[in-house]
Structure 1
Amino acid sequence: MNLNAPIRSFAVRSGAVALLCVFTAFGLDAWGLRERLRETALDAILRAAPPLAAAPLTIIDIDSATLARHGAWPWSRSQMARLVEKIAAARPSIIVIDMLFAGPDRLSPAAVARALAEEAGRTDIAALAPTLPDGDAALAAALALRPAALGAVLENVATPDFVPVTPLLVEGPGRLRDPWHAAGAAGPPETLRDVAQGLGLVAIASDRDGVVRRVPLIAIAGDVVLPGLAIEAVRLHDGASALVVADGELLAGMRSAPLGTDGRLRLRASAPETWLGRTVPAYRLLDGMPAPGALDGRIALLGSSAVEVGALRRTAAADAAPTVQIQADAVTTLFSGAIPNRPAILGPVENAGALALGVLALAAVLLAAPLIASALGGLLFLAWGSGAALLNHGANLMLDPAGPPLVGAVALGVGLVAGFAETERRERHLRRRFEQHLAPAVVARIAATPAALKLGGEVREITALFTDVEGFTAMTERAAPDALVKALDRYFDTLTEIVFAHGGMCDKIVGDAVHAFFNMPLDLDDHAGKALACARAIRAASERLRTEPEFAALGFGRTRIGMETGRAIVGDVGGRRKLDYTAHGMAINTAARLEVANKDLGTSICVGPGTAARLPAGAVRPVAAIAVRGVSGTVQVYAPVEDPIPGSEPVWPN
């Protein structure tokens, strides 16, 4: 049995469970993590894209310096009228104001007179109002100088009196599934609305992470469709009389924008360092020092970057972007035509991609080594991310570059970690199994390459070596228990170290006997020769031990050894509570019989014919042909060539 197979199977099963869990969370967008991850990754891709060409737009900024020169905020309508007159004098194509003039003017003399007359019930004071400066009238007169678009906001209550300015034509069925909607809307007072040629939403909603990435193209206010301020600016600049919804797009003159599913425009947010080139402080106009030609024929976008006004929002490129700069980014995106688009089909495509990446990652875990699987997974995830980036840059399709690879990476990571954990567990198990049977170096090899083992059972050629202590039973009857146990501990330590040193495996210790096998569990070159060398070393070591006082006092007998080579069945044998990695076969039985035969033959090492056949010529010499239980006929047995054999002269090797 290949141990890598169950390890990888466990890894794949673990990874599959992780894939199921994370894919479900991904598909359901649990806790909004999918959206946040996608949008953050898309932000990075859009920041890395080449900058857009500048739109014909100039921002008139009521900045902090302007407020310091011309009065604190809020300004009166009369003050705003003076600024609008200055802007109109520079002949922009249109004036777009990124703020809401909510309700009638309350700060001009005429407004104050009207309020006082109503409060006091004085008709004479009311009669004075038309003769006094009126902020709404002054601002309306200024707005009438050039085409203008004003701001509106959505309301949570119905507003039946709200009147839109821009006609909206719908050709074919609408495709919006999640438009921005509210019960009503609020806009400028009638005096200002009547002179405006456009009315657009200035409200901007941030995503769940607090980042503004979109502005409305259209929104629903009760039963009224209201355009966004940026699309109104584009429509008026191009001279279009209406907006048209057709085939999932919003047409504004020569421009079009995909509506997607929510009717919002994905911004190409600009960094603060780019704002200066398109921005003129309002005080320059009010103080009579505008740059020549700065507004001629361009969109004049009026707003404020002053902190005291509070119109600052976080975008993908800035922590505190004035809303007027956000609207400018929207206008620039519309003019560029390179509008990031996320059609509804991309959601299912990403789901399918996430599942496919996860399955491919698990296939790599199953079929390849961990490092190769990691590399293959990394390449797959990089390919998806790169493809998504290319689609974003080349086709403006906002395919998620991060979510599907993350799903695949979780499956891959869990699979690899589970595989490593299972490998570690099996290595510990194998070490515990074999550390008492094999040399540490062999155990390390097994732990490093568990696939080399076939614990389920195999047939392989081995050399079995059995030892026995002569006269052991009689010795136990006369020896003191503690002295005998101490001597046996040292004796077995010596023999097992010799077996390990020659590449053998100590199968078990039974009484006074050691059972050792060579060429298992791993292949061992010249295992018959190494077993014979091991037998010689055991005999020499045991004879040295017998001369030591503690062994001599016991009358410790000589060690007899039997060995044979042949095919055996090798593997784990036992029940659930006790498994024993051992060998079974005629060679093992014969080795045990030959160890006993030493007593009758007068030898100390008895070598079977299987072992003798695999030894170099002259390594052993024949002793006798004997009957072995379980074997028909007689068996020729051998002894090392240097051993004295009764009735013959020893032959010592050179």
Structure 2
Amino acid sequence: MVKTLLLGGLLGALVVGASLGGLLEVAELRALNALFVLRGPRRTATPIVIVTVDEDSFDELNLAWPWPRALHGRFLDIVSRGHPAAIGFDIVFAEPSAQGPADDGRLAGAVARAGNVVLAAARTVAQNELFTKVELRVPTSQLRAGAAGFGLVNYDIDPDGNVRQARLEYRLEGERFESFVRRLYDLGVQARLPARPLPAGDAFLINYRGGPRTFPWIPYYRVLDGEVSPEAFSGKIVLVGSTTPILHDAFSTPFAPANGMPGVEIHANALDTLFQGIPVRPAPRAAARAASLAAAVAAVWLTRRLRPLRAFVVLAGVGLAGWALAVGLFVLWHAWAAAVAPTLALVLAYGTTVVVEFVREQRERRRLSRFFSPAVLREIVRHKDDAHLGSSRRLVTVLFSDLRGFTSMAERLEPEQVAEVLGEYLTELTEIVFRHGGTVDKYVGDCVMALYNAPFEQRDHAAQAVRTALAFQAATQGLSARWEARLGVSMRSGVGINTGEAIVGTLGSRQRLEYTAVGDTVNLAARLESITKDFDAPIIISESTWALVDGQFPARALGEVTVKGKAVPVRIHAVLLSSTRKDERVPADVRVAITAGQVTVEAAVHDLAVNGLSVRELPLALTPGMFARLSIAGTGLGEPVGADARVVWCREAAAGFAFVDLRGEAAQALRDYLSARPGPASDPGPR
């Protein structure tokens, strides 16, 4: 856990550092754009209408820009007859009209008559290599005299080129200037438009309702031509501004990238945000940093405990849940929770941990591969700690196997041939141990020691050890036949198995450590293997092992025996390689489905007994010692009877099977069927 906290904390700190250094600012701003898009457009709630200085108005009026101010005065007189709540001109009249004082006078008179007109002012910046000059362009004094006020129309541009923030006031050279939207808000409040209190501070994030034309647009010329009634402006805030590209008054916003939103519509969105009291509220940055640290630690912890794909799926779900939370907070409470930093922390922590764990696992695999099967090794590596390898007392089944006649064979063969035979034998036996979930403890010459139920729990460890022993015998028979044909030598093997408690784990000296088991349980298993030749029994198991596998394998009791190193006699049993078929075989009118590996075939049953069956016309090549899954079905059996079986003999298209795991209701159903059948059957082959 300490390593997880250290790695996760380090990666989380890197992300927090990147955030503090501004490296994630653009990404977070674009994530805010994504929140707007995911939320989607919303209906406007504030009575705002935009009168557009657009291409159609230029075409209809056939006038060059700037238009005569008398024309604007006429426009104001028309709109004022509708009693709007406020009128905002997003056009800067900073210089006297080129058409003379009379032109200014007509506009000034209309502004004064309306009484609720806010004019635009602008801050301009002139910059060269030597100096930077900031200039404030305000309406002429003649126009200011009759206006309700003027306000700055400038917006701050974010690093990604978007307009997201509006100001309530500006401070320039020690003076305080209110913004255009603040002036219009005050007039709207005076006109008794429903309004929420202003947000704290000098600036706020605009809660955009949508893209262009979210608020109603009315072309300027249609007002002058009388196509729009003055009553259309009653009780509304009227904004007048450019929407034509030729006047270059457009900006990028979340719903309108690439300078797609006119400045006058940004004013409309800012005003709506103020009146509805819904500015976007950034969540505390400390929360995002804490979330980044937590995400990094959690990602490291999960990735170290799950497989990479599963960890990816889980972390992807966590990331999506985080984004869903961010969207929910934004939609419901207009809160902007920074999601990029925590997401980056998840990705960085996952990717780094996958690489670190891959390197560590490869090192662990190389260290442990000589002890464990690939399946067990995968489990050990997946648990990512050595807790399972530390020495402890636990119940285990220990198997010892030894080649009979190996010493005499070694005397007859060349050393290279001995090494070849031994390598072939040990490779085959090791694969069998691994297939049955065992752990190869050690090789001592031709002797193999294997453990079961270590380092991980195995529910059927004793049975798996016996199955390993049976497979050893079958494999040894096949190998012996090949050796006899090739080298003129044949051998048999003996196996001893015992179950009991032992000290299991990584044991040894500072110079050399091995995963092994020690104790009386191990010693007895070795002694049982050594007496197999005395009883002419290839497999001998102890009473403790037999108690765990009773009924699963054909066996005979050998009684009690005193082995070397034991003062008290021990009861032992011999596992039979093939059934003696003491139970009478009867002809059967049933069929059996045989599954061996990935192949399933069906055959007719020739004869059947409580402990096995034989078949004819088998469309599958089998070899003695193989294990198969049988499903026996036919009239009189009721439900199909399933059983695990071992191939005892094969001859052409016939084969004999001995049941290795037939108990309970399945065994009783078979007995009931056999008791109702006539017998005996003819013998189709050896047993």
Same fold (TM over 0.5): yes
- Kindly report which structure 2 residues correspond to 1:270-281, keeping only aligned pairs within 5 A, or say none: 270-275=210-215, 277-279=216-218, 281=219
Matched, 1:338 2:277: yes
**What is the rounded CA distance, in whole Å, between the counterparts of 1:255 and 1:543 in structure 2?**
95
User: 11, 14, 31: which one pairs with 2:7?
Assistant: 14
Matched, 1:302 2:240: yes
Q: Which residue of 2 aligns with 1:467?
A: 401
CA contact (8 A) 1:15 1:414 kept: no
Distance across 2 between alignment mates of 1:85 and 1:295: 15
Residue in structure 1 matched with residue 391 of structure 2 by the alignment: 457
User: Which deviates further from its counterpart, 434-443 or 453-462?
Assistant: 434-443
**Superimposed CA distance per residue, residues 185-229 of structure 1 (whole angstroms, 9 cap, x where no aligned partner):** 222333433343422223333332222234432212323322222
2:433–2:439 Cα contact (<8 Å) kept: yes
Q: Write the mapping of 1:318-333 to structure 2, written as runs, cut at 5 A.
A: 318-319=256-257, 320-333=260-273
The CA deviation at 1:557 is 5.1
Moved more, 376-385 or 87-96: 376-385
Equivalents in 2 of 1:213, 1:18: separation in Å? 31
1:154 aligns with 2:89: no
Per the alignment, residue 170 of structure 2 pairs with 219
Q: Superposed, which structure 2 residues align to 1:195-214 within 5 Å?
A: 195-214=146-165
Does the C-alpha gap of structure 1 residues 386 and 144 become closer, same or farther in structure 2, counting only changes over 3 Å?
closer
Q: In the alignment, what sits opposite 2:559? A: 622
Task: Report deviation, 1:233.
Answer: 3.4
Does the Cα contact within 8 Å between 1:621 and 1:640 map onto a contact in 2?
yes
**Following the alignment from structure 1 to structure 2, what is the Cα–Cα distance between the partners of residues 546 and 524?**
32
Cα distance, 1:583 vs. partner?
A: 1.4
Cα gap change, 1:507/1:364 in structure 2, threshold over 3 Å: closer, same or farther?
same
Distance 1:606 1:472 in 2: 20
2:419 partner amino acid:
V
CA 1:575–1:36: 2 relative to 1, 3 Å: farther
Q: Confirm or deny: 8 A CA contact 2:557 2:573 kept in the other structure.
A: yes
Across the two proteins, how many residue pairs are aligned to each other? 560
Find the partner of 2:503 among 561, 569, 574.
569
- What are the superposed Cα offsets for residues 381-422 of structure 1, whole Å, 9 maximum, x if unpaired? 644542453222xxxxxx323x1x444444445555566667
Whichever residue aligns with residue 262 of structure 1, its letter is D
Which of 207, 221, 244 is the aligned partner of 1:283?
Answer: 221
Instruction: Give the 5 Å matches for 1:15-54.
Output: 15-27=8-20, 29-33=22-26, 36-37=29-30, 39-40=32-33, 43-44=36-37, 47-54=40-47
What letter is aligned with 1:149? V
Change (3 A) 1:414 1:635: farther
**Separation of aligned partners in 2, 1:12 and 1:285:** 68
Of 391, 408, 416 in structure 1, the residue corresponding to residue 333 of structure 2 is 391
SS across alignment from 1:462: strand
Gaps of 5+ in 2: 127-131, 584-687
Distance 2:440 2:118 in 1: 94
Structure 1 stretches lacking a partner, 5+ long: 1-5, 111-132, 158-180, 241-251, 393-398, 644-650
Give the direction of change, closer, same or farther, for the CA distance of 1:465–1:224 in structure 2 (3 Å limit). Answer: closer
Deviation at 1:380, TM superposition (A): 6.0
SS in 2 for 1:314: strand
1:590 aligned to 524, 528, 532, which one? 524
Which residue in the other structure is 2:183 paired with?
232
Residue 649 (structure 2) aligns with: none
Residue in 1 aligned with 2:254? Answer: 316
Whole-angstrom distance in 1 between the partners of 2:40 and 2:348:
32
Over 3 Å counting, the alpha-carbon distance change for 1:517 and 1:186 in structure 2 is closer
The 2-side partners of 1:500 and 1:265 are apart by 65
- Which of 87, 91, 107 aligns to 1:99? It is 91
Matches within 5 A, 1:81-92: 81-92=70-81
Contact kept in structure 1, 2:122 and 2:137, CA below 8 Å: yes
- Partners of 1:380 and 1:364 lie apart in 2 by 13
Change (3 A) 1:96 1:507: closer
Of the three residues 116, 119, 140, the one matched with 1:189 is: 140
- Of 347, 352, 358, 2:287 maps to 352
- Cα root mean square deviation, aligned: 4.5
Higher mean C-alpha displacement, 406-415 vs 305-314: 406-415
Rate the CA distance shift 1:592–1:13 in 2: closer, same or farther, 3 A.
same
Q: Tell me the secondary structure at the aligned position of residue 504 of structure 2.
A: strand
Spell out the pairing of 1:410-425 with structure 2 (5 A cutoff): 410-414=344-348
C-alpha distance in structure 2 between counterparts of 1:427 and 1:265, whole Å: 49
- Quick one: distance in 1 between partners of 2:56 and 2:264? 17
Determine which structure has the larger strand proportion and give its number.
2
Preserved contact between residue 495 and residue 539 of structure 2 (Cα < 8 Å): yes
Aligned-pair identity (%) = 28
Alpha carbons of structure 1 residues 308 and 574: separation in structure 2 relative to 1, 3 Å: same
Which amino acid counterpart does residue 273 of structure 1 have in structure 2? Answer: R
Partner of 2:202: 262
Give the Cα–Cα distance (whole angstroms) in 1 for the partners of residues 64 and 232 of structure 2.
26
Alpha-carbon distance in 2 for matches of 1:513, 1:278: 93
Is residue 66 of structure 1 aligned with residue 57 of structure 2? Answer: yes
CA distance in 2, matches of 1:440, 1:255: 71
The 3-state SS of whatever aligns with 1:619 is strand
Could you tell me how far apart the structure 2 residues matched to 1:453 and 1:608 are? 30
Quick one: which amino acid aligns to residue 104 of structure 1? P
Moved more, 92-101 or 442-451: 442-451
The reply on whether 1:514 has 2:448 as its aligned counterpart is yes
Query: RCO higher in 1 or 2 (8 Å CA, sep ≥ 6)?
Result: 1
Aligned to 1:80: 69
User: In 1, Cα distance between the equivalents of 2:460 and 2:380?
Assistant: 20
Q: How far did 1:428 drift?
A: 5.7
Q: Contact 1:503 / 1:518 at 8 angstroms: preserved in 2? A: yes
Deviation at 1:59, TM superposition (A): 3.8
Are 2:168 and 2:182, in contact at CA under 8 Å, matched by a contact in 1?
yes
Instruction: Give, in whole Å, the separation in 2 of the partners of 1:210 and 1:454.
Output: 57
Tell me, in whole angstroms, the C-alpha distance in 1 between the residues paired with 2:471 and 2:75.
111
Q: TM-score, normalised by structure 2?
A: 0.67
Q: Displacement of 1:621 after TM fit?
A: 0.7
The aligned counterpart of 2:103 is 135
Aligned partner of residue 120 in structure 2, secondary structure? strand
2:102 and 2:298 mapped to 1: Cα distance?
A: 76
Shift of the alpha carbon at 1:63? 2.0
Q: Judging changes above 3 Å, is the alpha-carbon distance between structure 1 residues 223 and 453 closer, same or farther for their aligned structure 2 residues?
A: closer
Map 1:407-446 → 2, pairs under 5 A: 407-414=341-348
Per mean C-alpha deviation after superposition, the further-off stretch among 46-55 and 438-447 is 438-447
Q: Deviations over 1:457-493 (max 9, x none)?
A: 2322333333334454454344223332333233334
Contact 2:404–2:491 (8 Å) recurs in 1: yes
**3-state DSSP of counterpart to 1:226:** strand
> What per-residue deviation string (whole Å, max 9, x for no partner) do you get for residues 539-565 of structure 1?
565456445564784545543444433
Change (3 A) 1:365 1:372: farther
SS of corresponding position for 2:156:
coil
For residues 208 and 474 of structure 2, the distance between their equivalents in structure 1, rounded to whole angstroms, comes to: 87
CA distance, structure 2, for counterparts of residue 536 and residue 149 of structure 1: 99
Aligned AA (1:146):
A
The structure in which a higher percent of residues are helix is 1
